[in-house]
Amino acid sequence: MEQKKIVVLGGGISGYGSAILAKNAGYATFLSDAGRIADRYKAKLDEFGVEYEEGGHTMERILAADEVVKSPGIPEKAAVVKALRAQGTPIISEIEFAGRFTDGARTICITGSNGKTTTTSLIYKILCDAGYNVALGGNIGESFAYSVATGDYDWYVLELSSFQLDGMYDFRADIAVLMNITPDHLDRYDYCFQNYIDSKMRIIRNQHGRSAFIYSADDPVIAEQLPKYDLNMRQLPFAAKTVVASGDGDAFLYNDGTFTATYGRRSVAIDTAKMKIKGLHNAYDAMAASLAALAAGVDAKQVRRSVESFGGVEHRLEVVKECDKVLWINDSKATNVDSVWYALESMTRPTVWIAGGTDKGNDYAPLMDFAREKVHTLICMGVDNQKLIDSFTGTIPTIRDTHSLDEAMTAAREAAREGDVVLLSPACASFDLFRNYEARGEEFKQWVNENVK
């Protein structure tokens, strides 16, 4: 019997893991990347004997595949994807592919426009602290496929982007977490918000009566979408503004800053004042994580201990330094308007705000009230800042147009006064000036540490 041919498109963290899993599973495997593959991934591909190419696609070989695993960064409009679609070749995501080989392990899958990295990291911490045999993957940590290929885990905690969900068909999340849905990545969805919404809602695809669905009852978009679906799974809403009640369980944040999360007969009460991570957005994240952990069987006392001791995620409202009574905060992960809304909402000092990058179809209107109330200087950092400048002229007193990190940081240092905060919270993708949001955050921190003394 002839080996099934699997082609993996993209040689990043998702692609190399998928290729190694395919090779281990006995498929005739070929990985193709139009760009350059990082040396560390090439070393792994060589170690497992995976054939690959970089710097271009051998179309004849790709079009001969029985199935293609597409990395999430490759858009549908790419010529190679169009050619595969035209001939009807099945194209799936790493999540769909790896899910075939989990061998009875259970999955907790987290998506949303904002908060998913913090929530995913917190769920993983709770399960680790509770002694679970658990792997972290998806859009964070190691590749899900690589963990499946090289480990033997009972649980997988997976952060899933809309792009990863797009290629998901038969995969089922045992516990699905939907944090919120706000406009993001519209450049990849024909500038149609509903297309993006439909991708996010795929998180509940294939769920059944023994599955759990955790979602924000405060999110108006989710509320509008739910009636469209046949929800036969256990529903666990969380909220701070909407009165919630579910026979399966729920979580609610009270005015005194405490929240109670309940699943079945088990319940945990947590005082957000005792948490290391602050702000309404982190309260939402903690409620969702607590529900997920309870649904996974973690003891309530352990949930409370882990939530209170969790220190947050790098590049998400990360305090870098306070010097001369000016606080510098790295929020490079805020790549959309809603993330910045939560960042500005949590600011308690006059703010110098650094924003800009590759615009993804942003509407800055939701930020106007906070910008007017809290921001005295906007530092625009990008190749083309005109949309930001036009949007906030008349709302923020001082706006600076800069085109490099050093220029932006120098301007921010000049603008900052005693008692201020300098907040890097870009609202945009990083690709005009940086490799990714992590690189942007690292360069911000490095500049602060070297120049703010």
| Average pLDDT of the segment spanning 346-370 | 92
Q: Where in the chain is the domain with CATH 3.90.190.20?
A: 318-451
* Residue 1 pLDDT exceeds 80: no
- pLDDT 10s digits, 227-251: 999 899 999 999 999 988 788 999 9
pLDDT band, very low/low/confident/very high, at 185 (cuts 50, 70, 90): low
- pLDDT 10s digits, 187-211: 777 788 898 999 999 999 999 999 9
* Least confident range of 152-156, 279-283, 437-441: 279-283
What CA–CA distance (Å, rounded) separates 133 from 92? Answer: 27
The CATH architecture assigned to 100-309 reads 3-Layer(aba) Sandwich (3.40)
- pLDDT 10s digits, 18-69: 999 999 999 999 999 999 998 889 999 999 999 999 999 999 999 999 999 9
Q: What is the pLDDT of residue 285?
A: 96
- Helix, strand, or coil (residue 341): helix
Q: Where in the chain is the domain with CATH 3.40.1190.10?
A: 100-309
Q: Where in the chain is the domain with CATH 3.40.50.720?
A: 5-92
| 5-92 CATH fold | Rossmann fold (3.40.50)
Q: What is the pLDDT of residue 178?
A: 98
Give the list of residues 6+ apart from residue 184 with CB closer than 8 angstroms, or none: 113, 162, 196, 335, 336, 338, 360
318-451: what CATH class? Answer: alpha beta
* Residue 380 pLDDT exceeds 80: yes
- pLDDT 10s digits, 289-325: 999 999 999 999 999 999 999 988 888 888 899 999 9
Output the CA–CA distances (angstroms, integers) from residue 38 to 11, 41, 180, in the order listed.
8, 5, 33
405-409 long-range contacts, CB within 8 A, separation 24+: 405/381, 405/433, 405/434, 405/440, 405/443, 405/444, 405/447, 406/447, 407/381, 408/354, 408/379, 408/380, 408/381, 409/354, 409/444, 409/447, 409/448, 409/451
One-letter amino acid for residue 293 of the chain: A
- pLDDT 10s digits, 97-128: 999 999 999 999 999 988 888 999 999 999 99
Residues listed for the chain: 453
